[in-house]
Structure 1
Amino acid sequence: MLRSMEEGSNAASTAITDMTFEQALAALEQVVRQLESGDVPLDESINLYSRGEELRKACQARLDAAQARIEAIVQDGDGKATGTRPFDSEPQG
């Protein structure tokens, strides 16, 4: 239990931009658990909600980027995958 609390406080002190998707998601889940517990004072709840929203935005941005990369799979005329291209590059053809 103590380790879990330590991990939560480490996640709270880590800049969101420095987190992996998995770390940000775990931090968001921790924020949700704290808010749902009802044991957090109002001012802290507001701060937690704000951090949770930033974590949610970061996770969503990473998911959107991953989806774009998946969609960037290049297909031939028969619909078979022939390779990939960076999702931010123009298709060739």
Structure 2
Amino acid sequence: MNSGKDDNAVSFEEAMDKLEQIVAKLESGDVPLEKAIELFQEGMALSHLCGQKLEQVERKIETLLEENGTFVKKPFQPASDEREN
């Protein structure tokens, strides 16, 4: 990937599209070893970027719940947390 400054300019969707292209190339098996290593490294960087972007969004999300006729802001809790309760 490019420098950290360029990472912020890439949207989540663009990063996912590029990551899917890389996975398809690697799965095809028609990539020379050196190129496969480069693609793998780029894919790992894109995966990390997507994870960071998801974490940023998760921190921003708040749900509004009505309690006793008023709306209260609650921090976002992923669905997996709800199943554990």
Give the count of matched residue pairs.
Answer: 72
- 1:35 equivalent in alignment to 2:29: no
Counterpart of 2:12, as a letter, is F
Q: Say what the alpha-carbon RMSD is for the aligned residues.
A: 2.8
Deviation track 1:12-68 (CA, whole Å, cap 9, x = no partner) reads 88x433211100000000000000000000000000000000000000101111111
Structure with higher RCO (Cα < 8 A, 6+ apart)? 2
Stretches of structure 2 that go unaligned for 5 or more consecutive residues are 75-85
Counterpart of 1:42, as a letter, is L
Stretches of structure 1 that go unaligned for 5 or more consecutive residues are 1-11, 85-93
Question: Which shows bigger deviation, 38-47 or 75-84?
Answer: 75-84
Counterpart of 1:19, as a letter, is V
Counterpart of 1:39, as a letter, is D
Identity of aligned residues (%): 32
Which structure features the higher share of strand residues?
2
Matches within 5 A, 1:45-84: 45-70=36-61, 72-73=62-63, 78=68, 81-82=71-72
Distance in 2, matches of 1:33 and 1:23, equals 15
Q: TM-score by structure 2 length?
A: 0.67
Distance in 2, matches of 1:54 and 1:79, equals 46
Q: TM-score by structure 1 length?
A: 0.62
2:18 is paired with a residue whose SS is helix
Please tell me whether the aligned partners of residues 73 and 81 of structure 1 are also in contact (alpha carbons under 8 angstroms).
no
